[in-house]
A = this chain, B = another copy of it.
Amino acid sequence: MTDTSHENHHTENVQAHLKQVEALLHRHALVEEVAHKQELPRQDRHALVDTLLHKQHLTELQLKLESLHPADIAYILEALPIEQRLLVWDLVKSERDGEILIEVSDSVRESLIATMNREELRAAAGQLDADEIADLAPDLPQNVMRDVFKSLSIEEREHLRAAMSYSEDSVGALMDFNMIHVREDVTLEVVSRYLRRFDKLPDHTDQIFVVDRDDVFKGVLPINLIVVNEPEMLVRDLMLTDTIQLHPEEKADQAAQAFERYDLVSAPVIDEDKKLTGRVTVNVVLDFIRTESESDLLNQAGLREEEDIFASVWKSAKNRWTWLALNLCTAFFASRVIGGFEDTIEKFVALAALMPIVVGIAGNSANQTTTIIIRSLALGQITQGNARRLLIKELAISAFNGIVWGGIAGLFAYFLYHSVPLGVVMTSAMLLNLIVGAVVGMAIPLTMQKLGRDPAIGSSVMITAITDSGGFFIFLGLATIFLI
């Protein structure tokens, strides 16, 4: 437990604890079912709260909510339909609004902020640190941000300005300012006395930072070293100077890689003048990695962003449109390719039944290749030297798969339609299309990477477009030449 302010929210055992939160969610859902059945318009929600029966339930619920960690309340809010979500949100003590807004997902945060007035938002933001306000900033109205800014101290304003000046995928966006710093010419005794002035140290303080008079970073002093060494030792003699340092403009995923490789709990962030400007902690990195991997999965299915499961139909539909529109265009194109061979199909209608096999398998195989390549790119395993080697390997796999699966498909076609040439055309088309798939499956993510774009976004739609249209063209083209 690093956050000593929350330990009262943890029950004995995590399984039991999570179950209890879930049970609360269900029980609450029940309470709300009653409210919902009365079908009160949204404006009367407050009136409802005042009815006697509900008052009792709600008071009990409120007590429960008070004892929960903000992350648990965030979880409950995310899992509730909008009506019930807003009712729970009303029950949460307003002094906890800030910490909960930080925990919920972007889309749910939007739905909560939409119900709050300027004063409530200002108060919520006022409960937060500068780096947390920066996270909230894109969702807050301009005038609220102005109010918040005015209410901050000069140091906090500088922190907020710093945190907001870095792009979303940079180390600066992950950084917080809760670092403790000491000078190098003092003893551990002095450091300990200084630390004892804190009621508690900031979360994830596994090390304190050593700086000079001008805030120039000198090194780090792990808390563990304070504990295992004699009090009269000097910071200078114990501090570690050759440790990982982050720069605010660095890519966040490089920082995440460093946390993973070197098992860090926190790392200092140093600006170009070598001054200590902040720190990054492992919990933020954990959230970052989780969010990144989720957006990879969402992007693969063509979802622009994370979807609040209770968002409106219209909002959800819009989130899925770009992808469907793109797919419709490529499908139209593939359809025209087939249209060009209508005479052939008319003469040999079996082709219509067999052609989806040719394109389907190649599309799957190409997407396997792309998945491997995108992963290897992300891990930095692809160099100029080995790219050619990889291409040869992928081609070999496709050729091999083409002979095996194409052969089976060819036999399938032969047994169904009793035509040897048809079987041969089928096998050849599958072999060729699998090879096309391997080439584009490698070339597209590599090209996107070279152009500085994320290879995980949109690769699969392009690849499927090519294996579809290409497959129809190869199969129907071969059939036109050899069967007609």
| Identity of the chain B residue whose Cβ is nearest the Cβ of A105 in the assembled complex | B379
List, in ascending order, chain B residues with CB within 8 A of A119's CB.
Answer: none
CB distance from A381 to the nearest CB of B (A): 4
B225:A386 contact, CB within 8 angstroms: no
Instruction: Please tell me which stretch of A42-50, A90-98, A150-158, A299-307 contacts chain B, meaning at least 4 of its Cβ atoms lie within 8 angstroms of it.
Output: A299-307
A242–B18 contact, CB under 8 A?
no
Q: Is A457 an interface position by the 8 A CB rule?
A: no
Interface string of A1-24 (1 = CB under 8 A from B): 111101110111111011000100
Question: Is the beta-carbon distance between A205 and B228 smaller than 8 angstroms?
Answer: no
* Interface check A203, CB cutoff 8 A: yes
Q: Which residues of the partner chain B approach A367 to less than 8 Å between Cβ atoms?
A: 301
CB of A15, distance to nearest CB on chain B (Å): 5
Residues of B within 8 A of A225 (CB): 4, 200
Inter-chain contacts of A220 with B (CB < 8 A): 1
In chain A, positions 196-230 with a C-beta closer than 8 Å to chain B are 196, 198-201, 203-207, 220, 222-230
Determine which of B2, B12, B260, B380 lies in contact with A290 in the assembled complex, contact meaning CB atoms within 8 Å: B260
Segment with Cβ contacts to B, from A120-128, A133-141, A160-168, A327-335: A327-335
Contacts of A75 in B (CB 8 A): 261, 379-380
Which of the residues B286, B334, B365 comes within 8 Å of A289, measured between beta carbons? B286
Q: Is the CB of A2 within 8 A of B302?
A: no
Segment 310-331 of A: residues with Cβ below 8 Å from B: 310, 313-314, 316-317, 320, 323-325, 327-328, 331
Number of chain A residues whose Cβ lies closer than 8 Å to a Cβ of chain B: 154
Q: Are A313 and B396 in contact (CB-based, < 8 A)?
A: yes
* Copies of this protein in the complex: 2
Cα distance A260–B4 when bound, in Å?
Answer: 16
Residues of B within 8 A of A286 (CB): 259-260, 282, 285-286, 289
Taking CB atoms, residues of chain B closer than 8 Å to A371 are 297-298, 300-301, 303
Q: Which candidate, A53-61, A109-117, A341-349, A444-452, is the interface stretch facing chain B?
A: A341-349
- A41 interface hit (Cβ, 8 Å): no
Question: Considering the chains assembled together, what is the distance between the CA atoms of A405 and B332 in angstroms?
Answer: 12
Q: Is the CB of A72 within 8 A of B261?
A: yes
Does A478 make an interface contact (CB < 8 A)?
A: no
Q: How many angstroms between the C-alpha atoms of A297 and B368 in the bound complex?
A: 10
Residue pair A243, B334 in contact (C-beta under 8 Å): no
- CB neighbours (8 Å) of A317 from chain B are 397, 400-401
Residue pair A327, B259 in contact (C-beta under 8 Å): no
* Binary contact track A400-416/B, C-beta < 8 Å → 1, others 0: 11000100110010001
Decide yes or no whether A258 CB sits under 8 A from chain B.
yes
Does A247 make an interface contact (CB < 8 A)? yes
Whether A287 and B309, one on each chain, are in contact in the complex, defined by CB atoms closer than 8 angstroms, is no
- Which residues of B sit under 8 angstroms from A187, Cβ to Cβ? none
A192 in the interface (beta carbon within 8 A)? yes
Shortest A225–chain B CB gap in Å is 7
